Each structure stands twice: as C-alpha cells, then as structure tokens.
Chains A and B, each alone.
Chain A
Amino acid sequence: MKRRIDIPLVATLSVLGFFVFIPMLSAFEFSIRTPLKGGYGWDQYIWAVTEEDFMHYILRSGWLAAVTVVITLLILVPTLTWLHLSQSKIRPLIDGLSLLPLVIPVVAFAVGAQISFPEFMQNTVLELPFLYFVLALPYAYRSLDIGLSSIPLKTLTEAARSTGANWLKTITAVIIPVIRGAVMATVALTFALSLGEYTLTVLLHWDTFPTWVTYVAQENLLGAIAISMMSLIIPFLVLTGLTLLAPERSAQRRK
C-alpha cells in the first residue's frame, strides 16, 4: 500500500500537542530547574516524596477515586443494561439527565448535595465518592452507553440467560467482559476525574491530594509543580498497569 499522510490525524495530533504536550513539557522543564544552583536537577521531586503528607494525601485521593469507580460501575452498568434492553421510553430523558452535571455550577451542586445527604453522610469523607460519581456521570454514562450500543446486547443476554446465567452472572461474566474497552475507559475517566477534583472538595472543606498541592504551592511553587507532574504520571502508570494486567482478549483478535 502507498504511504500517505493522514491529514485529520496529523491535525489532531498537532492540536493535542499544542494544548497538552507543550504545557506539560513546559511544566516539567520548570519543575526540574534549580534556581539557586542554576541548571537542572531532581531536587523538587526529592523534596516532594520526602514531605510527610505526600503519601498520606495521595493514598487518600487514590482510595476515594477507587471507591468512586466502584460506585460508578455498580450503578451505571446494570442501569444502562436495563435501559438498553427494555427499550424504555424514558431512555432519552435519562440520557439528557446524565448531562446535567455539566451545566449545574459546582457551587450549587455542592451546597445542594450537602443539604440533601442524610446527616451521617455529611460528616464522612465517603460523601465525596458519591459526589465525584455525579461529576463523572456525563463521561462515564456516554462511554458505557456507546459500549452497550456496539454489541448485540439482547441476543447475548438471552443466550446467557437461557444457558443458565442469572442476571448477576450475565452482567459479570458476559456483558462486562464484552464491553471491556468501554468499561476500562469509564474506569480511567472516573479515576482521573476523582483524583484531580478540587472545587467541590474545597467547597465542602475536605482535604485531598489536589487541595494539599494548592496549599503546598503557596510555600513552594516549584515543588507544587513537581507534585502535579507526579500526580499526572502516577495514575497514568497505575491505569496502564491495570490495563496490561487484566487478561487482554481483544488483543488476540488483532493477531
């Protein structure tokens, strides 16, 4: 085949490079400067990981994000499966509702959520995953929705049930593995969004990794940037690891 230049691809990559990679590289360059000695070095990174609160906050944000992912999948996969199978007339309505978090100001949402939560939830940091779930909903919903639309859901479900799988087994042993790509995308989106969420967390007076970074930045800007760089890279490595660890069946497809 003749090699030719894929113009849309090049354009996308250029725009992406301009808006994502250049700022990231600049931030990185900035974070490894050593103004006192001149030149470059890893000083700020060493400072960051030896800072005692670093591990504390990154772990806390990590497990909050993990809980958010679990909540998201537990709620969305069965709901969307049901919406797709029942061909319910309310599906367009739910599609629309799932977009609301994009248009509701976070301040209004934070205050409203705080009031509507039962009292025992208001005093535990576990309220955050539920709120993060709502914030991630527009993206998680779309991703799973597309995944479910791309498979013969009805036939597969009926085949599973008539072969002896109850609903739980049908979802865990058939539907989720079949839309694995969409599920992984949902996990990645939700995890990343939860890990980086700042506004809502601050409004509700909780301390997580992003709020701690802002706090640190007031004292040591270079250090804060080093931390941010790590907070970008660590989830990336975690997610890549997850993707590689899980047995990749669809990869065999391409052999």
Chain B
Amino acid sequence: MSSKSLTLKNVTKKFGSVLALDNFNLEVGVGELVALLGPSGCGKTTALRVVAGLENQDSGNLYVGDKDLSETPAHKRNMGMVFQAYSLFPNLTVEENVAFGLQMRKVSKHERKKKAESLLELVGLPTQGQRFTYQLSGGQQQRVALARALAFEPEILLLDEPLSALDAQVRVNLREEIRRLQLSLGTTTLFVTHDQEEAMAISDRVGVMSHGQLEQIDTPDTLYNKPATSFVASFVGTMNRIPTQLSDGQVQLFGKNFPALKSSNESGSVIALIRPESIGITAGSQDHNAKVLTRLFMGASSNIVCQAIDGTIIQSLMSSNESGDLHPGSEVKLEVLNKEVLVTNA
C-alpha cells in the first residue's frame, strides 16, 4: 500500500487575531484512522486544511512519511479530500468525476475508466457512472466524492465532516462504509467531525481539540474511561457534575469516601465528574438521599433524572428492566459505583 504516516509539528495558524492552531502537534500512523473532535471553532477544519495545503501555516512543519511537505502546493501533495459541502464537478459525469485525479496525473483513458468503475463498485454505485451529479442524492454524491478522493491512491485521506449534511440513517450507514473501505485499502485517514458518536464509532484514535490545541488523543475507550482533563471528560459523553469537598486526596459522595483522580493535595470545594452509568439507584431504601424527577425510556436502557437532597440534578443510566419501578416522585438511594473519582476545580 502507498499509505504513509502523517505528522504535524508545532503548527501555528492565525487568522488576524484569531489563533486557529496553537503549536499544534499530531501524529497519525500508517493505515490509522484518527478523528479530530472538538467544539465549533476549535480549529479542526483549519488543521485539515493545513494538511491539505489549502491553508498555509504561519509556522511549523508537516511530514508525510519522512517527506517534509510544509511548502508543497496542494495539487502535489497526493492527498484525497472529501468536503462537507457537495463538491462534485457539475460539468462532468459521475465516472469522469472519479477519474479526475487520474486525468490530472496523465493516466491513460482506458486505465482511468477501469479504475473509476472499480471505485464506483467499491462505494456501492456500480451503475451510476454515466449520470450527472445533480441526479444523485446527497448520500450518493458523498460516495462519489469519496471515490474521487480515493481513485488516485492518495497517501493520506482527509475528511471534513463529510456526513454532516446527510440524514441520520444515511449518516450511520455511510460512516460504517467509510471505515470498511478505509480498513480494506489501508489508507491513513484524518477525519474531522463534531459528532462524538461518529468519531468514537469508526476511529482507531480520537483527538479532542480545544482552542487550537490537542487536549488528548487516545483510543475511544481510554478517552471515555480515562479522560486526561476535565474538558475532555465533559466533552466526551455525558458527565454528572457533583459539587463536593476535597481533603487528603479524598472526596465524599453520598456518604462514602473516594480517592480523587488527578488532583493535587489541596483541599476545598471541587466538582466530582461521574458518568451516568456509574450512578447506582436503589429504590425502597430507608436512608434515601434523592427523588426521581423523570425516567426516559430508551429501549434497552433508561435515563433516570434525580434530584439529590441538596438540589443537585443527577442522571443515571440503567437497564430498563432494573428501573421499571422507578417513577417520578419515588424516593431513592443514590451511590457512586466507581473506585476512584475524577475531580475538577469548582
């Protein structure tokens, strides 16, 4: 495979006074799919565009394999890109769109046709080659865009929210297809999204960005279970934020002490971060400490929203079987099921 690793070193990019990338570092291994995730305006698109050469970084370097591409113009970088907006060439047929990159690389007409056909087959559009792009649905257009980006066997594949304009169902199908294709072709891929579920579902690793920097990059599991910062903790998945006191490295929650993770020894008011699935609920207990506000049935699991005695709103995620007898107004006993607890400054 022609795939290579991708490295960004100390990349900085300013737009006027906005620091879009701030000493940004990133490494994507050969054949790996890394998603960049983060709130709007954190610099995800800018990072991708700098990699593609569509934006020039103010400082810092970019390597593909061990080649320094920092100053290489976009059309010589050999990277395939799929855009958020529909970007097919309206003057060309579907097949000509897919073959465009090969045409630019002076591949013979016969070869181009063969390759375009095989890619259209791969993205599930084997019979659409002679149509024009305006005759396709949004999902089909993005499939063609993906085929176009892959046809010339790029060293890197770049995807900037390619699914965000599509319907929920199409989005889920297509993201799985992207992953399947990426795995079978082994193309090193950088995928930008603000949909954390999407990022977690298809990536080898997810990079969480904030303010032009990478806060943490890890496998989806590590990111979810061991967030390195409170920003990552609250950005990835849902977190209960429970005010409490820290002393001697311990916090007290619902009458029990837990060792605090990643904290200094100072004491005082902190906020404990607990996932909904780590909150246990017992009904009918004598020493109740909360009241059920609502129960949201979601199929196999249910989301129970409670209010603790001190007024804090706490969410719990339980199996629907176990939570069947919880109703609004039920008095319940909450407990934390973790061994250790992540805390952040109040």
Contacts and interface: CB of A to CB of B under 8 A. Distances in A.
B89 A178 contact: yes
Contacts of A218: none
B339 interface: no
Interface string A120-155: 000000000000000000000000000000011001
B54 A161 contact: yes
A253 B131 CA distance: 10
Interface residues on B, range: 20 to 34
B74 A162 contact: yes
Contact of B85 (A155, A165, A166): A155
A83 B75 CA distance: 21
Contacts of B77: 162
A221 interface: no
A165 B145 CA distance: 16
Interface string B59-83: 0000000000000011111111101
A252 interface: yes
B134 A253 contact: yes
B6 to A, nearest CB: 15
A164 B89 contact: no
Interface string A229-255: 000000000000000000001001100
B91 A163 contact: no
A177 B91 contact: yes
Contact of B104 (A158, A169, A178, A180): A169
Given A152-B87, A174-B89, A177-B91, A159 B105 contact: no
Contact of B54 (A158, A164, A165, A180): A158
B135 to A, nearest CB: 9
Contact of A161 (B74, B78, B92): B74
A125 B231 CA distance: 71
Nearest to A252: B132
B80 A163 contact: yes
A161 B75 CA distance: 5
A246 to B, nearest CB: 12
Nearest to B88: A159
B299 interface: no
A7 to B, nearest CB: 32
B161 to A, nearest CB: 13
Interface residues of A, number: 22
B75 A164 contact: yes
A169 to B, nearest CB: 6
Nearest to A247: B91
Contacts of B152: 163-164
Interface-centre pick from A162, A164, A166, A253 (highest chain B CB count, 10 A):
A162
B143 to A, nearest CB: 15
Interface in A196-226: none
Contact of B101 (A164, A174, A180, A252): A164
B85 A152 contact: yes
Contacts of A166: 73, 75
B44 interface: no
Given A162-B80, A163-B80, A155 B87 contact: yes
A180 B75 contact: no
B81 A162 contact: yes
Nearest to B89: A174
A184 interface: no
B90 A178 contact: yes
Given A174-B91, A178-B90, A164 B132 contact: no
Interface in B120-178: 132, 134, 145, 148-149, 152, 158
A102 interface: no
Given A156-B89, A158-B54, A249-B91, A165 B80 contact: no
Interface string B100-132: 110111000000000000000000000000001
A76 interface: no
Given A152-B87, A174-B91, A178-B90, A159 B81 contact: yes
B132 A163 contact: no
Nearest to A179: B91
A160 B76 CA distance: 12
Contact of A163 (B73, B85, B104): B104
A166 B104 CA distance: 9
B50 interface: no
Nearest to A164: B104
A116 B86 CA distance: 47
B35 interface: no
Contacts of A252: 132
B87 A159 contact: yes
Nearest to B55: A158
A160 B91 CA distance: 13
10 contacts: A158-B54, A159-B87, A159-B88, A159-B89, A162-B53, A163-B80, A163-B101, A163-B148, A164-B75, A165-B100
**4 nearest A-B pairs in the assembled complex, by CB-CB distance:** A164-B104, A177-B91, A159-B87, A162-B81
Interface of A: 151-152, 155-156, 158-166, 169, 173-174, 177-178, 180, 249, 252-253
Given A152-B85, A162-B53, A163-B81, 6 more contacts: A158-B74, A159-B87, A162-B158, A164-B78, A178-B90, A249-B91
